[in-house]
Amino acid sequence: MILYTGCILGAVFVDDIAVVFEFVGSFGMSLTSFTLPAVMYLMMIRNPKAFHEIESEKQRLWNKIGSVFMVVFSVTNMLMVVVK
């Protein structure tokens, strides 16, 4: 709801529509493509009932590192667009 409100307020108060498209595109792309899958994976592996035999400990470690990297990358991307 906060993101939606921010997009609407940006559309109302910003004269250049390109700025609004950059903002909405950055948040939408980063959130759906990078952040949500990484967060879902991190939440899934914390579940004690999860089927942990599907990957080895080494694979799980690298998947955790990749997921954390993607969350940090996408949040950084979103912040850079807002600051720009």
Each domain of the chain, given as residue ranges in start order, spans 2-83
Convert the pLDDT of each residue in 8-61 to its tens digit. 887 788 777 777 777 777 777 767 777 888 888 888 888 877 777 788 889 889
How many residues are listed for the chain in this entry? 84
CA 36 – CA 43 distance, rounded (Å): 10
Mean pLDDT over 72-83 rounds to: 81
CA 41 – CA 63 distance, rounded (Å): 8
What pLDDT sits at residue 33? 76
Mean pLDDT over 54-74 rounds to: 89
Question: For the whole prediction, is pTM greater than 0.85?
Answer: no
What pLDDT sits at residue 69? 94
CA 74 – CA 5 distance, rounded (Å): 20
